[in-house]
Each structure stands twice: as C-alpha cells, then as structure tokens.
Amino acid sequence: MQKKQFSYPITPCPEESQQSHFTSHKNDKILEKRLFQKWIEVVGERIAEYARPLHFQDGILIIRVKNTHWMQELHYLKGRYTQQLNEELNSHIIREVRLEHGELPPLVSQPVEPSRPEWLSILLPQELINDIETKLAHLPENEIKESARRIMINHYKLTWMRQRHKRPRYQK
C-alpha cells in the first residue's frame, strides 16, 4: 500500500509582514524593559517586594506574585496600576494584567554609575610629584611621558591607600 503524499503550495510572506513582525517583537522587548524599570516607581517598594513583572507581550502584562494575600490585593489594584503604567510610558500599551503565583524574578534596576575608587582622589605631596618628574626628566614631552607620569602617580596613590588600610596577616 502506497502512502498518499500531500503537497501544499508554499506562498511566500510579503516582506512587509515579516518586517512588521520583527519590528513588533523588537518594540515589545524595548517596551517590556521600560515597563519593568517603571514598575517600582508606580507600585512602590513595598508592593515590589511581593510582586514583579514577569513578561509582557501583545498588550498582556504578566505579574508574578509571591503569596496569595498580595495576589488578592493586586487583583483589586491592577486597574489603577495599569492606568498609571500606561501614563508613565505615554501610551496605552497594557490592555490586560494577569497575575500568577510563584517565585519572584529579580528586579530590573536602573543602571548604576560605577563609583570612582577612593584612592584616585588622594592628593600626593609635592615632594613625591617632584620625585616622579625627576625620574621622567630623560623622556621627551609626549604621550609616552604623560602615560608614564599617570601610571607612577596612580601607583603611589594605590600604594599609599594599601598601607593605610593594611590588615594584620593571619599567623600560622
């Protein structure tokens, strides 16, 4: 017995629909990130401890809630938070909010500016700077001399900081 083979005509998708699908997906990811960042501002830190956004797609925001008490509370407040989030994002992208119980995902926070190390702000005594200049006197004034000067100054600053914060070594 011979199996029947079905052949279906393959119709290519128009480029417009492929492009719009890609753009839509890309926009959803951008909106999702912005939405997650605005979450704490809108709901407050107390609620953010117990409920966090998990996923956003096609206008549906899924919120993961830590316990049933907060799930019930958010059920009554989700309309207000939907409106506030839409206002914060300047568009009405959230059409529906769904709540689900489970472990919370980590919070998406604003990027933190790296702090400058303390040792970089140390001012070296003038005698030490003069000593560095004497050691570098044989080099012509150019980028190499400037780089060597910067390296030596930072080395002395770091050494001074380490000596200031010296901890006693463990004895065996």
Which residues make Cβ contacts (< 8 Å) with residue 124, sequence separation at least 6? 153, 156, 157, 160
Q: CA nearest 93: which of 27, 138, 49?
A: 27
The CATH number linked to 88 is 3.30.300.130
**Local confidence band at 148 (pLDDT 50, 70, 90 cut-offs):** very high
The answer for 158, left when phi > 0, alpha when psi is -120 to 50, beta otherwise, is alpha
Q: In this structure, are 67 and 135 located in the same domain? A: no
At 39, which helix (H) or strand (E)? helix 15-43
pLDDT in tens, 38-58: 888 888 888 888 998 888 888
Asked if residue 145 belongs to a domain, the reply is: yes
Asked if residue 81 belongs to a domain, the reply is: yes
The predicted structure's pLDDT at residue 7: 41
Q: In this structure, are 136 and 92 located in the same domain? A: no
Summarize the confidence of residues 133-158 as an average pLDDT. 90
Asked if residue 74 belongs to a domain, the reply is: yes
Q: What gap in Å lies between CA 35 and CA 115, rounded to an integer? A: 27
Q: CA nearest 65: which of 57, 110, 73?
A: 73
Summarize the confidence of residues 101-121 as an average pLDDT. 72
User: What is the domain count for the chain?
Assistant: 2
Q: Are 34 and 101 in contact (CB under 8 A)?
A: no
Q: Domain of 154?
A: 118-164
Q: What gap in Å lies between CA 44 and CA 46, rounded to an integer? A: 6
